[in-house]
Amino acid sequence: MVQTITTGTTRVTRTTHHDLSLGGRAGAVLIILLVCFATFLVAFTTSGWSGYRSSRTGLWESCSAISSGPSYHTATQVLMCLALIGLAVAVILVFLYLFAHTVSKYQVLLGLVIDSFITFALMLVAVIVYGASASNVSWSFGVACIATILCMCAAIVAAIQLARC
């Protein structure tokens, strides 16, 4: 529904709700975020962040004789936990944007854009810190890099959608 408000010589047109369309930019954001969330969960939960022969390390477990992780590993854990929360919020916000017609679409989309860029920054810093400090990065680290790129893509598409509202 389009609402037009005229005050004097100023005319403002606002969209109060929209028809559900998963084929446009909003649908693209949903799909990208869901794929990002899935790849992030794989990277977050697997033990293939770094490894050499029979020794391998993930964010949460190590299959070697190392008893406690170095500080870069702890920093990566914290950043990835914050990114997981950010991704969960982003998925909730995109569902609100697409399916809830009683909320302000602009405010939800603005929150989604802000949250997506913050989450992207957290993920980017996490993979840079880990990649610069760890030796012999492995496949889970690569999956985390893919999730980071997907998060950036979702943030950019959401920002484009926000600019066109």
In a domain, 140, yes or no: yes
At which residue do the structure tokens 């926000």 appear? 162
Considering its fold, how many domains does the chain have in total? 1
d(CA 158, CA 109): 7
In a domain, 138, yes or no: yes
How is 79-110 classified by DSSP, letter by letter?
A: HHHHHHHHHHHHHHHHHHHHH-SSS-HHHHHH
What's the confidence (pLDDT) of residue 14?
55
In a domain, 9, yes or no: no
Judge whether residue 68 has pLDDT over 80. Answer: no
In a domain, 130, yes or no: yes
**Which one is predicted more confidently, 60 or 123?**
123
d(CA 69, CA 88): 27
**Which one is predicted more confidently, 86 or 54?**
86
What is the helix (H) or strand (E) element at residue 8, kind and residue range?
A: none
Whether the pTM exceeds 0.85: the reply is no
In a domain, 5, yes or no: no
In a domain, 35, yes or no: yes
Task: Specify the CATH number for the domain of residue 75.
Answer: 1.20.140.150
In a domain, 16, yes or no: no
What is the helix (H) or strand (E) element at residue 149, kind and residue range?
A: helix 139-163
CA 147-38-108 angle, 5° bins? 80
Structure tokens at 6: 């005229």
